[in-house]
Amino acid sequence: MKTEKVDKRQAILEAAEKLFCETGYEGTSTRQIAKESGANMAMINYYFGSKEGVFVEIMNERIAGFTSQLKIINEDKISALEKLHKVIEGYVNRILNNTAFHKMMHRELSLTQRPEMYDKIKDAMSHNMQIIDRIITDGIEDGSFNKVDVRMVIATIMGTITNIVISPHKVMSCSNFDLNNPKDKKIIKDRAVAHLQDLTTVYLTTKR
Amino acid sequence: MKTEKVDKRQAILEAAEKLFCETGYEGTSTRQIAKESGANMAMINYYFGSKEGVFVEIMNERIAGFTSQLKIINEDKISALEKLHKVIEGYVNRILNNTAFHKMMHRELSLTQRPEMYDKIKDAMSHNMQIIDRIITDGIEDGSFNKVDVRMVIATIMGTITNIVISPHKVMSCSNFDLNNPKDKKIIKDRAVAHLQDLTTVYLTTKR
DNA sequence: GGAAGTTAATCAATCGTTTGATTAATTTTG
DNA sequence: CAAAATTAATCAAACGATTGATTAACTTCC
């Protein structure tokens, strides 16, 4: 069992994800995927049945790897604010470590097409939102948070992160930031976490 | 001679925008555009040179209609906070009145392809960001705003609105909201404006 | 030897674009 | 003014290229 034996199936998935992220689903041809992965075109249909099968498989794997992540935090015996800060940190890290996929997910979400994918993404997002919702709602009920529009606060947290990922990097700062540069990514991550934690602290806990 | 003379050029633009919004640029064929607009296929190339020419024209018209909007506010002799609140209200209204186009713009922005469009959208966004940046920076300098990460605050404002538009509506609230329903749209608009104005007020002006 | 993996060749369908011809409207000319 | 010339708009048909998918033969491996 040689380790240099490449798993064509996996190679196809990785090449396809890269190409889908860069040029979109419709903008990527099966021949491109084949060339990029080093596999023959027929292998795509052999393993996944169709081009869409590849896409569905990518989404399923990714989403499966995501939904299991945010759960544990809620068990800790820490304050609502600390929980929220942990969630923010986790969320920022996850998304900024998978910017390409996150872009692709949002692109797919904004299309009226492929309702199966839409529902799948919706469910995954919905689950994450429920976790954040619970933390904030609990904080409000036990009096440690102000009464706020919870769903809007969630939109702010998620929207801020998404905006950082999607918006042209050169717009983000005066100098030329690049999210593919690990050093720049670290800086952006820290700034985003600091900002969102500061923002939520002030907005949710300031007596007024 | 009946005066039902339709401007085919305009019909093509409108049909193309609708289709591009619904199924994406690559997902829309010139034949679809022709059928939807009632024009002959050749007219697309006759008027716009190419399929991409249609897309570029749509973007140019839209962006031209947008960039002229946020300017006047800055001339008013009002406080930085009031300026910011006006900008927020204008921004929310504009985007929620053009949700389909806004989705398409973001979709296109997340593609590495079509650099010409990317730059055009980037410039338009960059201009809006500069306006908001100036307001907040002025507020900080004259002491009415706290010292904050200005670019991150902008990302929060823009990201929140975008998130509301793009995120699945059914996730937004317990009941089934629909942005195409004028009554629901009004409600979402008001909630978004109220939330963002409250958020910025608290975060930027709370003494701490 | 036979199942699994892999290949080149090929399929019909669709893609964006171009063509040459035709009609309708406008301008030029005698 | 009216005939001739020019331009703009529109059309059906076809273009070559590319699409996703399939075939059938071949290789690899247990």
| Per-residue pLDDT tens over the stretch A177-208 | 777 788 889 999 999 999 999 999 999 999 98
How far is Cα A154 from Cα A204, in angstroms, rounded to an integer? 12
Element spanning A46, H or E: helix A41-48
Kindly tell me the burial class for residue B3, based on how many C-beta atoms sit within 10 Å of its own C-beta (0-12, 13-18, 19 or more): exposed
Q: Between chain A and chain B, how many beta carbons pairs sit less than 8 Å apart?
A: 156
Report the range of poorest mean pLDDT among A6-10, B109-113, B201-205.
Answer: B109-113
Tracing tokens 């018209």 back to the chain, one arrives at: B61
Q: Do A125 and B158 touch (CB under 8 A)?
A: no
Which of A171, A172, A202 lies at the smallest CB-CB distance from B202?
Answer: A202
CA B154 to chain centre: 15
Distance, angstroms, CA B48 to C1' C13? Answer: 26
Q: Do A109 and B168 touch (CB under 8 A)?
A: yes
Residue B18 pLDDT exceeds 90: yes
Q: Does any strand C atom come closer than 7 Å to the Cβ of B45?
A: yes
Distance, angstroms, CA A42 to C1' C11? Answer: 13
Q: pTM of the predicted model, to two decimals?
A: 0.89
Q: What is the pLDDT of residue A3?
A: 31
> What b-and-e string marks burial along A60-73, b requiring 16 or more CB atoms within 10 Å of the CB?
eebbeebeeebeeb
How far is Cα B163 from Cα A68, in angstroms, rounded to an integer? 23
Q: What is the arithmetic mean of pLDDT over B16-34?
A: 94
Taking CA–CA distances from A103, the nearest residue in chain B reads B110
Q: What is the arithmetic mean of pLDDT over B60-72?
A: 74
Nucleotide nearest to A45 (CA to C1'): D21
Which of B126, B152, B160 lies at the smallest CB-CB distance from A155?
Answer: B160
Q: Between A162 and B108, name the one with better pLDDT.
A: A162
Which of B27, B170, B206 lies at the smallest CB-CB distance from A26?
Answer: B27
Q: What is the pLDDT of residue A100?
A: 86
DSSP-derived secondary structure for B21-65: HHH-STT--HHHHHHHHT--HHHHHHHHSSHHHHHHHHHHHHHHH
Q: Which residues of chain A have pLDDT under 50?
A: 1-5
Q: Do B160 and A164 touch (CB under 8 A)?
A: no
Q: Between B115 and A50, name the one with better pLDDT.
A: A50
Q: Does any strand C atom come closer than 7 Å to the Cβ of B37?
A: no
Q: What is the pLDDT of residue B181?
A: 84
Q: What is the pLDDT of residue A66?
A: 73
Contact yes or no for A148/A204 (Cβ under 8 A): yes
DSSP A101: H
Nucleotide nearest to B43 (CA to C1'): D10
